[in-house]
Amino acid sequence: MDMILHAGPALLVHGFGNLLGIFFGLPLAMLLGLRRESIGATSSLNREYHLALINSAYGSDSDEASGSMAIYIVGGILGTIYFGIMATVLGMTGWFDPKALGMSTGVGAGIFMASASASLAQLFPHDANTITAMASAANTIAGITGIYITMFLAIPLTDKLYTILDKMFAGRRAKTPAAVKGRIK
């Protein structure tokens, strides 16, 4: 318990790192051709409450909800494998303390945490209890703070950045009649 309390400030602010995904993911998604779907896709961390917030803000039949659901489904499948491999690779470098790696696994969905923390526990068997404790604490705190970060920062920020980038990328889009009307179905 002392270890978790000592890491308190880091546990509280590590959820803000999720905002970086907006700045990297949104331009990339738009360059790949996504439109409003990119808002739901890049403001989401593959957690259930992100789906609920996007559905509440834009509606369940919206393009934003489609992007969020796509990330939820694909992220749940591929993200779990990726997190397990990434945790192993980063753990093998020796650059990070096992406690820090354990804390980092608590960012996304519970399946991400389980995959990454299990990989780290195998890599550092003497720190397995510490890794799982830090991962669980980080996942719980990120889940609580993440709701508010998503609601008050991530969604409005993604929406605003989309508006700016949409004007920048407008000249690069195809000028087909279907593209001019909007989303191609």
Instruction: Using the structure block, give the residue that is written with the tokens 């650059």.
Output: 95
**pLDDT of 181 higher than 90:** no
Is residue 159, in this structure, part of any structural domain at all?
A: yes
Q: Residue 125's CB: how many other CB atoms inside 10 A?
A: 10
Q: Residue 28's CB: how many other CB atoms inside 10 A?
A: 11
Tally of domains within the chain:
1
Is residue 180, in this structure, part of any structural domain at all?
A: no
pLDDT at position 88, please?
92
What pLDDT digit, counting tens, does each position of 125-179 carry? 999 999 898 888 888 888 888 888 889 999 999 999 999 999 988 776 655 455 5
Q: What is the DSSP letter of 151?
A: I
Between the CA atoms of 5, 108, 30 and 82, what dihedral angle is there, to the nearest 10 degrees?
120
Is residue 176, in this structure, part of any structural domain at all?
A: no
Structure pTM?
0.77
Distance CA 82, CA 98 (A): 18
Distance CA 44, CA 19 (A): 10
Is residue 119, in this structure, part of any structural domain at all?
A: yes
What pLDDT digit, counting tens, does each position of 34-79 carry? 899 999 988 877 678 888 999 999 999 999 999 999 988 888 889 8
* Contact by Cβ (8 Å): 80, 51: no
The domain of 152 spans: 2-169
Is residue 181, in this structure, part of any structural domain at all?
A: no
87-96, 143-152, 176-185: lowest mean pLDDT where?
176-185
Is residue 177, in this structure, part of any structural domain at all?
A: no
Is residue 178, in this structure, part of any structural domain at all?
A: no
